[in-house]
Amino acid sequence: MEDSEFHQLECERLTIGRFRDSDAGALAAYRDDPDVARYQGWTRPYSRSDAEKFIAGLHSLSPGRPGTWFQFALRLRDSDALVGDVALRTTEQDPPEAELGFSLASAHQHRGYATEAVGLVVNFAFERLAFSRIFSITDHRNLRARRLLERLDFELTHELESGACVYGRMPAV
């Protein structure tokens, strides 16, 4: 179920909301970082212009819209600084499922922010968007992402020939 009224989620240390035009510099900086981009689907170099176009394309989207990716901006509550993003791609099947992705600026890794943010977005996706399943595909070498998914009760469902690992989670009963 699409949430066209989505504005923001909050947890202890983060706010999770829509990207703003003013986020382009911070988004470009972490997407251009080779350590952040290593296991992601975008190409480097990632310029400010790339970030501006990406953010402009998000303005008309809402979480849960079938066939689209929605990118949630992760901000520190105390400073409002953009530190990463979580993405959901809603499938067009019925009942809907979602593919999950996430990235965090290097300077903000190893502090639990990604676990906090992904956990909140996953709960929102099950409770508000009524997804029947959420899955994530990650490179088998991306051990930090795999451990994060496992901490959030995702289970490894299978490995692809490419070496990617597919994790899935159903809503709590």
* Annotated domain spans of the chain: 8-169
The answer to whether residues 12 and 115 touch, using CB atoms and an 8 Å cutoff, is no
**69-76 β-sheet, strand order:** 8-10, 14-17, 69-76, 82-90, 97-104, 133-139, 164-169, 155-159
- The pLDDT profile of the chain, 173 residues, written as one tens digit per residue, is 889 999 999 999 999 999 999 999 999 999 999 999 888 988 899 999 999 999 999 999 999 999 999 999 999 999 999 999 999 999 998 888 999 999 999 999 999 999 999 999 999 999 999 999 999 999 999 999 999 999 999 999 999 988 899 999 999 86
- Exposed/middle/buried for residue 170 (C-beta within 10 Å: 0-12, 13-18, 19+): middle
Of 2.30.130.10, 3.40.630.30, 2.60.40.420, 2.60.40.10, the CATH number of 8-169 is 3.40.630.30
pTM, two decimal places: 0.94
